[in-house]
């Protein structure tokens, strides 16, 4: 297969970055097609920890081309900082290995200010956003007043648009949100630096990718967040502001429908989510705290503790259907070692009726009782396993059951944070 997308099947934080980093070894180009720097991918390579928020995880492989597509919203200052940090580690030192879509929209300081002020104003009703300005940036995109990287070509015109936006946003910040305005002079000077630093990378990435695919190059599409945070199909309103599904590749990277050959769905061996919203299988108390600590379940971008739950097969089936998932990569299996029994949510009970699918509408309006199936756990260490047969019998049984309930074959199993701590059963690029 030549074109592969990696997407999350839960509420994000499934370990997509590690799997993208692994698959990037067999790809030529890695593309980010949606979201912003509110999502982060944590990678451990050679014992060193890397956190990537905007640049695709392929950056850690020499010679791979990293592309940020038009479907993303990009904080240009954060991007420059990330590029500088990567280069200090010897990554992306060749300018030709990084490309930025000319029609990607920018996240500006006033977007961040609005995002944070809104959450403060909502108080106990807050959605739980990261405060990085992603939602307000997508709002401006849809309102047709957003600033795109292509606008930097004519800096006089760009400055005029920026000043108009600032006047409107500052009025809203002061009069409605009761927050401090954003200064114009300092921001325009900052954007001069942005223009100087980023203009060499700005191009028509959709045309670049079209040519690359036509010439048989292997392209890996890296999703952010997870299916249950999708703006249309997630647990609305506790969602992100973009589409997280594999279908977003077509609009967010400029591909024609039908040009994606495989979708690899990433899922943890249990479930987590950050922020507010429904969570049917949530585990509270000592066991939840243990899994959070041992799994390092704290947001890479924010440091916020993640909520912990049992594996939810209802969610995974929904994600598999929506994304057309070809195979599953199950991560963090090692974190379940020593827990006995293990629970899997196989269905929901709503108003006394068994539901095999997620109910339509807002999950918050439904009183959901998860229906669990119990499986025996294992105590043997799994961290050195590199083949399916190396795993304890009960771990293999657990994985097979996840596959049966999700109706998707397992392609990979993660047994640790490092790149090499992965059992590869089926690599889509070698299929």
Token pair listed for 192:
């001069």
First to last CA, the chain: 6
Catalytic residue among 13, 28, 230, 312: 13
Clarify whether 89 is annotated catalytic: no
Inter-CA distances, 168 with 73, 122, 164, Å:
20, 21, 7
Cβ-Cβ contacts under 8 Å for 355 (sequence gap 6 or more): 314, 347, 348, 349
CA-based nearest residue to 78, from 54, 102, 94: 54
Catalytic residue among 21, 41, 61, 230: 41
Clarify whether 84 is annotated catalytic: no
Cβ-Cβ contacts under 8 Å for 115 (sequence gap 6 or more): 129, 130, 131, 132, 133, 134, 135, 136
With H, G, I as helix, E, B as strand and everything else as coil, classify residue 292.
Answer: helix
How far apart are alpha carbons 256 and 304 in whole angstroms?
A: 38
Cβ-Cβ contacts under 8 Å for 129 (sequence gap 6 or more): 38, 115, 119, 135, 275
CA-based nearest residue to 332, from 11, 6, 21, 19: 19
CA-based nearest residue to 282, from 406, 352, 369, 374: 369
With H, G, I as helix, E, B as strand and everything else as coil, classify residue 126.
Answer: coil
Helix (H) or strand (E) holding 264: strand 262-268
How far apart are alpha carbons 10 and 131 in whole angstroms?
A: 21
Token pair listed for 239:
């969602």
Cβ-Cβ contacts under 8 Å for 360 (sequence gap 6 or more): none
Inter-CA distances, 329 with 263, 312, 333, Å:
11, 15, 11
Specify whether the CB–CB gap between 145 and 106 falls below 8 A: no
Specify whether the CB–CB gap between 82 and 53 falls below 8 A: yes
**What are the DSSP calls for 195-215, one per residue?**
HHHHGGGEE-HHHHHHHHHHT
Helix intervals (H) in 25-90 = 76-88
With H, G, I as helix, E, B as strand and everything else as coil, classify residue 95.
Answer: helix
**Which residues form the catalytic set?**
13, 41
């Amino acid at each position: 297969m030549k074109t592969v997308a990696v997407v999350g099947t839960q509420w994000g934080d499934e370990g997509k970055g590690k799997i993208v980093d692994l698959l990037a070894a067999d790809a030529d180009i890695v593309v980010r097609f949606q979201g912003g720097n509110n999502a982060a991918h944590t990678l451990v390579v050679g014992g060193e920890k890397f956190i990537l928020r905007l640049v695709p995880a392929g950056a850690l492989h020499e010679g791979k081309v990293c592309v940020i597509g038009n479907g993303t919203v990009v904080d240009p200052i954060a991007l420059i900082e990330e590029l500088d940090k990567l280069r200090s580690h010897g990554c992306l030192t060749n300018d030709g290995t990084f490309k930025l879509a000319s029609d990607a929209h920018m996240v500006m300081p006033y977007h961040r200010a609005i995002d944070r002020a809104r959450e403060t104003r909502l108080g106990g009703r807050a959605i739980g956003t990261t405060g990085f300005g992603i939602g307000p940036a997508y709002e401006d995109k849809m309102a047709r007043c957003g600033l795109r990287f292509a606008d930097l070509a004519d800096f006089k015109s760009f400055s005029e648009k920026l000043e108009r936006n600032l006047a409107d946003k500052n009025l809203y910040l002061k009069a409605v949100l009761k927050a401090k305005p954003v200064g114009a002079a300092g921001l325009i000077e900052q954007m001069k630096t942005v223009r100087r630093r980023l203009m060499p990378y700005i191009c028509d990435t959709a045309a670049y990718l079209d040519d690359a695919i036509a010439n048989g190059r292997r392209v890996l599409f890296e999703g952010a967040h997870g299916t249950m945070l999708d703006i249309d199909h997630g647990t609305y309103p506790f969602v992100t502001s973009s589409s997280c599904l594999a279908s977003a590749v077509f609009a967010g990277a400029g591909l024609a429908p039908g040009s994606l050959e495989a979708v690899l769905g990433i899922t943890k061996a249990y479930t987590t989510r950050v922020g507010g919203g429904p969570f049917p299988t949530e585990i509270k108390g000592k066991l939840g705290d243990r899994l959070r600590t041992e799994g390092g379940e704290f947001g890479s971008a924010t440091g916020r503790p993640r909520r912990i739950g049992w594996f939810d097969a209802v969610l995974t089936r929904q994600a598999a259907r929506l994304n057309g998932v070809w195979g599953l990569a199950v991560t963090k299996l090692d974190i379940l070692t020593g827990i006995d029994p293990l629970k899997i949510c196989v269905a929901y009970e709503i108003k006394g009726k068994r539901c095999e699918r997620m109910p339509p509408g807002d999950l918050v309006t439904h009183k959901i009782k998860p229906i669990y199936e119990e499986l025996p756990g294992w105590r043997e260490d799994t961290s050195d396993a590199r083949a399916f047969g190396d795993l304890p019998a009960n771990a293999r049984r657990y994985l097979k059951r996840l596959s049966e309930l999700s109706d998707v074959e397992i392609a990979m199993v993660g047994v640790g944070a490092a790149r090499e701590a992965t059992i590869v059963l089926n690599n889509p690029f070698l299929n």
